[in-house]
Structure 1
Amino acid sequence: MISLWTVLILICYPSRGLLTVAYTLEDEQNLQTALLSGYSKGLRPGRDRSFPMTLNMSFGLLSIKEFDLNTGKFSLTGVFQLNWIDERLSWNPANYNQTNSTVISQSLLWLPDLINVNPYEEITGLRLGLSMIVESTGLCNWYAIQTFETVCDTDVTNYPFDTQICSLRFYVWSYEPTDIDVVFVAPKVVLDLYSENGIWEIQDSATYTKINVYNYKEIIVDLFLKRRTSYYVVSLILPLIFIAFLMGFVFLLPADSGERVGFSTTVLLSIVVYLTIIQDILPESSEPNVSTLGFILVTFVVNGSFVVIAVIISLRIQSQSCQKAVPLCINRVALYLRRRRKTKDMVEPLDTKSELNYEDEEEKVTWHEVAKCFDMFCFILLQIFFFVTSTSYLIIVNT
């Protein structure tokens, strides 16, 4: 079976590459005239019709042209390499001055009708190919190069750390399974001439056939794609994480600075902008799953809304009149926190710690002290929420 590199050499060097040949133009012309005389390209090869004709096949990927997650359009350029035996095209090389092979236009010979059954737009056949290389044994080598546009069902659950499986699916049209037997000679896609894509990395591939529910053999080429994440980590994930991390620090701003509400709403709007960007990139479908990153962003938006509310509540506590008594339950909590703080701040010998005097425990706390305790509680709670949410997301997308 001739490799992809060989066919390129044959294209670049019409005189069969760098090999020295003895036959002349007249020899090859006489050969093709004899081969095509009475040849019917509408009849499949194979003298014994009780046995299927074997169609050997392999697929070489040249480039990934486009992959649109919104529409599911997957476009790639590749080469199908097919060969089969056509007894009508065999000859004795000695009769034609040792002519062992010839190149014949594909429009003059029989070709298998391979139809793409999962196209993005119109159903197309595999017809765009190079001229066919025919050997003296009757072996026909056909290289069909084409840009294929197919529908690829995307799963954006782990975006932008997602992997996708996209397939090319073909049928041999107009023939029963007993007429043609398709066999892949290579279990994977040939990547010798592949040009790397800047967004998608090919993790694995598979080429195989299977019998569908209608008892027809389906030709399948699977590509397992993994997104290159460096760009998304730098431009999306890290900025989002740092913006969400800043959310809790609004409670460390002095209340009399007048910047708390503006700070919290600015951070909230920044997260909303990222949510809008993600919604523009990802498809609108909910199957099989919605992006985990979308859920995280919505969680951050809801969290930011509660932060704005908590900031307003904190400012309201700060502005309470000194004559207004602090409720007893709040007063007890504030006294407990004050006692804990003083215990940590005081440095006394071990034998005198039992004699610590908490005469101020019965003192009444002020609304200003209540507001400070509320701010510290909100800050700690937000940092715990941030680390739990971020860690959970990273665990989910890496499992």
Structure 2
Amino acid sequence: MRFQSLRVLLMFSISNPCIEFVHAQSHTDVKKLHTDMFTDYKKEVLPTADQSKPLVIGVTFFMASFNSFNEVEETISLTAAVGMNWTDPALKWNPTLYGNLYGTIINPKDLWLPQLFLINRVDSMDPVGDDTMFFPTIIYTGEVIYSPGGILKAKCPTDISKFPFDSQTCTLQLMPWGFIQANLLLTSNFDKAQLDFFSQHSDWNLLEYSISIVNESLGYSVLNVKLTFEREPLYFAVMIILPTLLFSLLNPLVFVFTSRIWRTSVIIDDNFTVIRHIFNTCVSFDSCVFKSYVRSVNCHDRHHLYQRCNRNWFHNKCKLFLSQQ
């Protein structure tokens, strides 16, 4: 029951960041509450009554949209919010003394707020939601609800062994960088990401969205969000598989064409070049499938493979990888 009520409050704070929980229409009560709460408040101090014990923060992961998955760069991009709740003993009040005011919105610059970092992020090392101001909600019991969010772009290894009938699994690793478990401890409010605001992607289907907390041996508390997406294969089946099969059937005809119609064989070869270019833009040469293939061939075959790279139908990264083997 507590988690369900918390879920409502988290969703409320995300979708209504400027509404106050006021049961009496008195602006004076709100100003008086803010003045009384923050007269001696120090946002630099960790909000725990017993400083020898860690601050426990409950976390809820909200997925808003799956933006893209780049097989070549091996990155995933999604829009999400991280709802956090904790109890600050310095922010408790008696609602009857403030016109039955049970909750209020606070400027984030005036409050101690935790910062979660996506440690496998590829574009920056900034906290989640650092580029936008998200207003926290405070309940009269001292419970603080804070839900920063943004576009998260993380590293995700690619597995194309079943392309285009493949599925990709990515893990987002979020942690309060700089706070060890003795100071701050993360707990998960739910065992799955919440999809209340999720917009489905046309090319990928979301299969798994589990959440777990891992207490690292180095002393950090890490939130792992495991996401599994399944590709919609129709586009690639029409654009790659079907043309490749048709060209494979036409390929033997090159040997029976006379010199008068030599242009036909050239056209077929050009068509294969187009297919190779499409494959080059869809497949990462850092993937385990390509690496396993290169390591399995002998030196003689690898020499021919390197020559093919020089024909510009492979990515430049192909030649770089071969030179390192």
TM range (shorter): 0.7 to 0.9
1:102 Cα offset (Å): 0.6
Whose RCO is larger (CA < 8 A, sep 6+)? 2
Deviations 1:322-346 (A, max 9, x none): xxxxxxxxxxxxxxxxxxxxxxxxx
Paired with 1:105 and 1:113, the residues of 2 have a C-alpha distance of: 16
Number of matched pairs: 287
Are the aligned partners of 2:118 and 2:175 in contact in 1 as well (CA < 8 Å)? Answer: yes
Of residues 10, 33, 43, the one that matches 2:16 is 10
The CA deviation at 1:212 is: 2.6
Gap change, CA 1:88 and 1:102, over 3 Å in 2: same
Quick one: which of 215, 218, 226 aligns to 2:219? 215
Conserved 8 A contact 1:157-1:291: no
Q: Are the aligned partners of 1:159 and 1:291 in contact in 2 as well (CA < 8 Å)?
A: no
Is residue 288 of structure 2 the alignment partner of residue 288 of structure 1?
Answer: yes
Indicate whether 1:201 and 2:205 are aligned. Answer: yes
2:318 alignment counterpart: none
Is the deviation greater in 47-56 or in 131-140?
47-56
1:101–1:134 CA contact under 8 A, matched in 2: yes
Please, which runs of 5 or more residues in structure 2 have no aligned partner? Answer: 1-5, 295-303, 305-325
1:273 is aligned to 2:279:
no
* Contact 1:70 1:284 (C-alpha < 8 Å) held by counterparts: yes
Q: Distance in 2 between matches of 1:11 and 1:122?
A: 26
The answer to whether 1:237 aligns with 2:241 is yes
Cα displacement string for residues 281-311 of structure 1 (whole angstroms, at most 9, x for unaligned residues): 32222x42229999xxxxxxx9xxxxxxxxx
Distance 1:11 1:47, change over 3 A: closer
- Paired residue type of 2:285: E
Secondary structure at 1:290's aligned position in 2?
helix
Q: 1: CA distance between counterparts of 2:292 and 2:205?
A: 21
Question: Residue 159 of structure 1 contacts residue 293 of structure 1 at CA under 8 Å; is this kept in 2?
Answer: no
- TM-score w.r.t. the length of structure 2 is 0.79
Instruction: Encode CA deviations 1:107-163: one digit per residue, 9 max, x unaligned.
Output: 111111322211213211133452111000001010112112222222222222222
Alpha-carbon shift at residue 84 of structure 1 (Å): 0.4
Larger Rg: 1
Paired amino acid for 1:230: L
Matched to 1:93, the amino acid is: P
Distance 1:73 1:203 in 2: 18
Conserved 8 A contact 1:23-1:96: no
Kept in 2, the 8 Å contact 1:201–1:225? The answer is yes
Contact 1:70 1:283 in 2 (8 A): yes
Aligned residue in 1 for 2:230:
226
Query: Cα RMSD (Å) of the superposition?
Result: 2.8
The equivalences for 1:320-399 within 5 A come to none
Q: Cα 1:113–1:74, aligned 2, differ >3 Å: closer, same or farther?
A: same
Structure 1: 5+ residue runs without aligned partners?
Answer: 295-301, 303-399
> Which structure dedicates a bigger proportion of its chain to helix?
1
Which of 81, 105, 108 is 1:106 aligned to?
108
Given candidates 138, 142, 147, the residue that maps to 1:143 is 147
Verify the 8 A CA contact 1:129 1:146 in the aligned structure 2: no
TM-score normalized with structure 1 length: 0.65
User: Equivalents in 1 of 2:7, 2:217: separation in Å?
Assistant: 34
Separation of aligned partners in 2, 1:8 and 1:115? 19
